[in-house]
Every structure is written in C-alpha cells, then in structure tokens.
Amino acid sequence: MTNQDLKMGRGARHISLPQIGEQGQKFIADATILIVGMGGLGCASASYLNSSGIKKMLLCDFDSIDATNLGRQILFGPSDIGKQKVLVAKQQLENINPAIDIQTINKKINRQELTALDLEKKTIILDCSDNFNTRFEINKYCVENNHYLVSGSAIRFEGQYVVFGDNYKKLPCYECLYNQNDESYEDCSGNGVLGPVPGMIGAMMAIETIKIICNIYTKKTQLNIYEGLSNEWRQINIKKRQDCPICN
C-alpha cells in the first residue's frame, strides 16, 4: 500500500461526513498544532489528532515517565519508565502515522519560549498542562498572537474543557475565567484522578480542534464540565471581563 493510499484511507470516514468532506480533510492534512503537556490529556488528544491525519504536531513537556503515569497516559508502557515523555510520544505517534511531522520541545514553556517558536498564525494550541502558571503564560501568548486556545483539565471524577479565540478583541480569554487569585495547588497526584476521565476530555479537545480546522466551530465560549460520578454534563457561558488585564 502506497503512502497516498494510506493517506486517503485514513481520512475516508471524515470525507464521508458532509460537514467535513474532501475540503475539510485537506484542511486537516495541512494543519499544525502545539500540545503543551503530555499527560493524560495530551496523550489522548495527540493520539486522535495524529490518527486524523494532522500535518504537523509540536509536543512540549519537560517531564519523564514514571510508573504512576501508566494508568492514564496511554502512549507509554512499563519499558518507557525513566524516558522523556515527548521522545516516547513522538516515536509512538510516528509508528501510527509515519506521514506526520512531529517536533519535540523538552522544556517547561513560557510566553517567551512560545514566541521563539515563531508559530504560524493558523497553529492551534492545546493546553494540556497541569499548573496555573503555565496556563496563564500560554493564554497571554495566544491573546497577543490571536491563536485559538483549547484548554482542558481533569481531577478526581471531574473534567472540563473550553475553547478560546481567536478574536480576543470581542471574545474572552482564559483569565476572564480564572485569574492568579484562583490558583489552587490541587492536582491529580495529590487528589487522584479516574484514568479514563483525562482520556475523555483529551478526546473532546481533539474534536474541538478538528472543528476549528474545518471551519465548523461555533464561536461560543463556554466551559464544558463533566461530572463522572453522576454522569452529567453542564455548560457555563463565559463573558469577556471588562477588567481583564490580558485581553482588554
């Protein structure tokens, strides 16, 4: 089977969707994304976007794999313990889709580091990180450069995701929802997380990313919250804060 046959086969079910079609799959095949954080969210979103036929993916994480990651970070196995997350993820994703161009960034990223990457305007950024400082830095960069930002998080039996951008003059940003005073030191290492929850949120982030790429995303900024124990979803509309120090 030729590379072209593989490429066409990979996108066949997308092409069958009238909302995507051949043109939408071409958009996917020409898209670039940056994923910050290769934990449970990042592994899931990267896996589905890679399998969808994304052209280029940048993976950013400064951490190495340990045994506690294996219950939810689906790109890693026991033989990967001690290795750098981005390098193992790159190898696994390339095994699934050899046509993809994957670049790795093995460091904790901030706004200056993001600026140095000189990303194309159309690059979509997925925030799969696990701390507020990184999220605030990513948000500042996205506002300054008008990038779409797909942000997600998961803890215990709960998960949430939201899409920001790309017209921040009219639409809210991450700091319209959270600010420095809201910082919490809760994370899954201290409080636990049900393994499939980050996977589900990461998959939802991948769906929203594909919708943006294919121009079928409705620009309605809302926080989508999943409660795993009750199996319920709820949505909260996010309004632009007139006193936001970042997007106003």
Question: Which residues are part of the catalytic machinery?
Answer: 188
- Return the ∠ at Cα 149 (arms to 144 and 153), rounded to 5°: 130
Q: Are the beta carbons of 148 and 173 closer than 8 angstroms?
A: no
Helix and strand counts by DSSP (H, E) for the chain: 10, 8
CB within 8 Å of 2: residues ≥ 6 apart: none
By the 8 A CB rule, do 149 and 163 touch?
A: yes
DSSP-assigned beta bridge partners for residue 35: 59, 126
Tell which phi-psi region holds residue 190, choosing left (phi > 0), alpha (psi between -120 and 50) or beta: alpha
Q: Are the C-beta atoms of 145 and 174 separated by less than 8 Å?
A: no
